[in-house]
Structure 1
């Protein structure tokens, strides 16, 4: 395969998943120039690679690596593949002298923690959160093992991405049932818009000094009912069960110190970014 001379952006591993498709839509429409220049990975694509097998030669030298590839559901033995995929990405980066490597972890590592969740904390409450925290541990272990050849690596504890998360998926599928707590409000969640995510990722790829883990969200916690109203979705309330989590909020101080000021998440802004990245209401 002959690479395009315009391809001087990052290698994006896992470009065919929901988040990868959203980011590529932004890139192809000219909203994310660095993405348009990226090398997009999949089992087919600019760079075809089954990540459970040895990595083939790259057609060119990309500017950093973004690891979107991962497993989001299934039993623990399937979720364990998140660590394997991260290890494969680091070994490719070490082999070809690439970096930094940005690996998508998840806010799920904080479980049911209350208040702004900070990077020094982690208390996963489900199998997915535990798998992502294990992935972070494996990344640190692999970086140590690789020694001088190790790439710079940062695990990004990603908030809900507008247009790519469960709520937006439910809106796209039909009517939504939303938990209402005794105080009269629904769940509030940390969010980032896909265009905001793309721009933050581009900034991080050009940053020399990255921490091992970093929260990635727009500041604030957005009421889910506000998202439903902003999108014009069909929805109704139900009493929140005792197990429902009222709020997830990420501390974004470290991110702002590295990437600069980031706009507070708002429901209209998140819906607009989701639509820009290809999301549509049912």
Structure 2
């Protein structure tokens, strides 16, 4: 099946918004994404989210579990799969099953596209890794995400398959990664020091930036199969903590510590027509607004 620009152009304001089925809306990322869209609905103008989860919860429009009948799954033009298993929260191999389930749900609801969330963990240590970089993950999570990706984009006759899958490789998400988990306590955070005043550097994405990426992919006639999603400027962890006013202490970086994991977002900048630079203070300001809505 050939997809045309009429299938995925940005909706005219006079047209009825198109339904986007969002899976995993009660997870950590899902709750941040819902709150972000409540604050700024224009981030997804032309689309109407249907918030779905595997169990009931605040803000859930529809429950879609393994036992949900096909007739109970609402129609949608596209699916966004925010769900996934992160380290320490379950069996990482379930990421593959969840991706396959998202494709099945997209097929049932009539969606032509399904967007899956992967991770910059697939790259391993590196600076400005682009979508075509060699993947050298250093942990099981990165390996699991690679397996998930390959199951989606290595499908024979992919161009003739509906729904078509697209992968968003998300950087660390402000408000959802381990650094922000650690800020839930009052204890100072211990940071690795690679040199005097030099902490780990990572690419970060915010929920608002992720929405811009989602909307850009949905608007493209021929979107890229894989898209890095992050702010254009990698940031140091101590800069984020400084911006948040959170205390931290230094320790010499162990031999196994990774100084930088950053991803190239030139492709995302072209799609969104934005520079995508976000200073740590802006990242923290967005997190503070969303944190107050999801806690």
Normalised by the size of structure 1, how large is the TM-score? Answer: 0.87
Q: Distance in 2 between matches of 1:74 and 1:18?
A: 14
2:251 to 215, 228, 238: 238
C-alpha change, 1:58 and 1:257, in structure 2 (3 Å) is farther
Report how many aligned residue pairs link the two structures.
272
Tell me which residue corresponds to 1:94.
107
Q: Deviations over 1:182-228 (max 9, x none)?
A: 25300111011222222222222222211221111111210111100
Quote the offset at 1:82 in angstroms: 0.4
Kindly indicate whether residue 189 of structure 2 is the aligned counterpart of residue 176 of structure 1: yes
Quote the offset at 1:95 in angstroms: 3.1
Quote the offset at 1:262 in angstroms: 3.3
Kindly indicate whether residue 148 of structure 2 is the aligned counterpart of residue 135 of structure 1: yes
1:62 to 55, 65, 76: 76
Kindly indicate whether residue 177 of structure 2 is the aligned counterpart of residue 162 of structure 1: no
Quote the offset at 1:7 in angstroms: 7.4
C-alpha change, 1:33 and 1:254, in structure 2 (3 Å) is closer
Q: Distance in 2 between matches of 1:264 and 1:29?
A: 20
Stretch moving more, 143-152 or 234-243? 143-152
Contact 1:94 1:149 in 2 (8 A): no
C-alpha change, 1:205 and 1:89, in structure 2 (3 Å) is same
Q: Compare the two structures and name the one with the higher strand fraction.
A: 2
Kindly indicate whether residue 168 of structure 2 is the aligned counterpart of residue 193 of structure 1: no
C-alpha change, 1:53 and 1:138, in structure 2 (3 Å) is farther
Quote the offset at 1:149 in angstroms: 4.2
Alignment root-mean-square deviation, CA: 2.5
Q: Distance in 2 between matches of 1:170 and 1:255?
A: 30
Q: Spell out the pairing of 1:17-166 with structure 2 (5 A cutoff).
A: 17-31=27-41, 34=44, 37-42=48-53, 43-44=55-56, 45-50=60-65, 52-53=66-67, 56-57=70-71, 60-74=74-88, 78-112=91-125, 114-121=126-133, 122-141=135-154, 143-144=155-156, 148-166=160-178
The runs of 5 or more residues in structure 1 that have no matched partner are 1-5
Q: Distance in 2 between matches of 1:151 and 1:59?
A: 16
Stretch moving more, 6-15 or 202-211? 6-15
C-alpha change, 1:32 and 1:163, in structure 2 (3 Å) is farther
Aligned with 1:154: secondary structure? strand
Contact 1:7 1:39 in 2 (8 A): no
Contact 1:32 1:199 in 2 (8 A): no
Quote the offset at 1:23 in angstroms: 1.0
Contact 2:113 2:164 in 1 (8 A): yes
Normalised by the size of structure 2, how large is the TM-score? Answer: 0.84
Q: Deviations over 1:142-172 (max 9, x none)?
A: x437773422221111001111111111112
Contact 1:10 1:34 in 2 (8 A): no
Kindly indicate whether residue 268 of structure 2 is the aligned counterpart of residue 255 of structure 1: yes
Q: Distance in 1 between matches of 2:77 and 2:254?
A: 47
